[in-house]
Structure formats: C-alpha cells, structure tokens
Chain A
C-alpha cells in the first residue's frame, strides 16, 4: 500500500523556515498569510500499514519536537509526483 507521512514542527516549537516563508510571501504581493509551518513529506510503499505509527515514532519523526500525520492513500489517488516517476509506479498505487 502507498502511504504518505506528513511531519511538521510541533505547536510551540519555533520554526525559522516557516517564518522565512511567511516573510517572503508578502514581499511577492501575497498578503494575508499567517502561521506558516514548514515540514516534510515521506511517501512509502508498506506491506503492513499497521506498523506505520511505530515507524513514525522510532525513525520518521522525532516525537519530542515533531508531530506526524499518516495519510493512507489507498483510493484511486495516485501519489504526488507519480507521473514524473513513470507510469509503472502510478499503476501500482491504484487498486
């Protein structure tokens, strides 16, 4: 199964990357932007999605300073960027 893990700084943890983006957007004319947080996304094929939380706790995130969100993209949704990676990958992700 194709899954997606979103990792971002926990609330209350200072995120200088997010701040830099928040300052840059108005400079480009995009006003009304606040509370920007920059994290990372991990996509993976897993045999046993039940083990994803443990993977997140032990390696994919540092639970002390980051929170994670697991998106199990089981539906017709192809993984982001799959097209660029070749049709074969996109095919596998479909049921």
Chain B
C-alpha cells in the first residue's frame, strides 16, 4: 500500500511520518501547493507548524490546494490520519469534530504518555494489542481538545489519555477522535516518534500497521 504525507511550509514531523509509514508500506511526500494525490491509499497530515500557525493552529493550512484534494479523498471514504498539527488542521477544515485549544497550563508539554485504546475495530487501531495502553510521546502547546457534548459520539473517541496522564486538560481525557464514518482520525500524540525501541517505544507502529491491514483487507474484498 502507499501512504502520502502532506508537507506544508512549517511541517517538521513529515520525515518521521514518512519513515514510520515506510516500515509498513510505501510512502511519498505530497507538496501542499500541488493537487495530485498520486494514487495513495492513505493520507497523513503530519505535525509541525503549518504556515507558521499564524492566527490559530491549522487555520490557514486548511486552505492549501492539497487539502481540497484530501477533503475530497476523505469524502470518498479514503483513510486520513492527522497527527498533532495535522489534527488541528483537520478540525479547522471541518473533517473532524471539535477544536484544539491552548494547554490548560499554557505551557509547552513534551513527554511520553500512556493511551487507552477505546476501539479494536477502527481502521486506525485494529492492530493495537487488546487492553494494553500505548506509550507514545506528546509535544505541543495547543492540544486541549474540546468538542460540544452533542457534537461527538462516544464511539468516535478512539484514544484517551490513561487516568492521571492528561497532559493538556483535554475534555474527557480525549487524545484522538475519528469522524462519524470512521475514515478520518486525528490525535495529539505522535505515533511516528514511537516506532523503534531505540527511542523508548515502538507502540506507535500499531497505528500504521492498522492502516496497512485495513487497506489490505479492502483490496482483497
């Protein structure tokens, strides 16, 4: 399968996302100003500071030509994963519910967190070991997730910070959510930084492996 990673001016986790995706499949970089998805099976909107995050995190990046393609890809059921700034971009674009607000501490937070996986059926978490928390790092200043009560079903919450681990004051300990149809997923933690035991954990690989397994099943079907 082939992943496409959207690179904006100001992206900084695009290469890590590319290398992580390459551990389970092929991966190519997609330039924000282009509008050719190059036939990818899944899109990753990576972390960083797209367009400098001027105004609000993700607010300007969502108007990039490539994001229009990504939105159409998502409407057609394509898998889209947004990590950190990518999550902020997808929320601003209306592809995911809710918004990311400044951390309750008003401080940059950078540390390993434990995450509880809430669904074993999602295309993004199906390869996660059942009942075992994932250890994945967060690094952000604007990661406090907020969604109105009625705007988000419980089934859309795929990841929660384990009890006592919430690093930013997110509503209901939410770390990652998907859209109603389940094919767009955003999370603040960085699975692409947790793919090798050398750097502390390889739990993040399960997210990429889940996507690969889902696409493989779809091809067979």
Contacts and interface: CB of A to CB of B under 8 A. Distances in A.
Interface of B: 55-56, 59-60, 92, 98-99, 101-106, 144, 146, 148, 169
Contact of B106 (A13, A17, A64): A17
Nearest to A17: B106
13 contacts: A13-B146, A14-B101, A14-B144, A14-B169, A16-B106, A17-B102, A20-B106, A59-B55, A59-B59, A59-B60, A62-B59, A65-B99, A65-B101
A16 B107 CA distance: 11
B104 A62 contact: no
Contacts of B92: 62
A4 to B, nearest CB: 16
Contact of B102 (A16, A60, A62): A16
Contacts of B146: 13, 64-65
Interface of A: 13-14, 16-17, 20, 59-60, 62, 64-65
Contacts of A62: 56, 59, 92, 99
Contacts of A60: 55
Nearest to A59: B59
Contacts of B104: 14, 16
Contacts of A20: 106
Nearest to B57: A62
B192 to A, nearest CB: 26
A14 B59 CA distance: 20
A38 to B, nearest CB: 10
B55 A16 contact: no
A89 B59 CA distance: 28
Contacts of A65: 99, 101, 146
Residue with the highest number of chain A CB atoms closer than 10 Å, among B56, B102, B105, B169: B56
Given A14-B101, A59-B59, A65-B146, 6 more contacts: A13-B146, A17-B106, A62-B56, A62-B59, A64-B99, A65-B99
B98 to A, nearest CB: 7
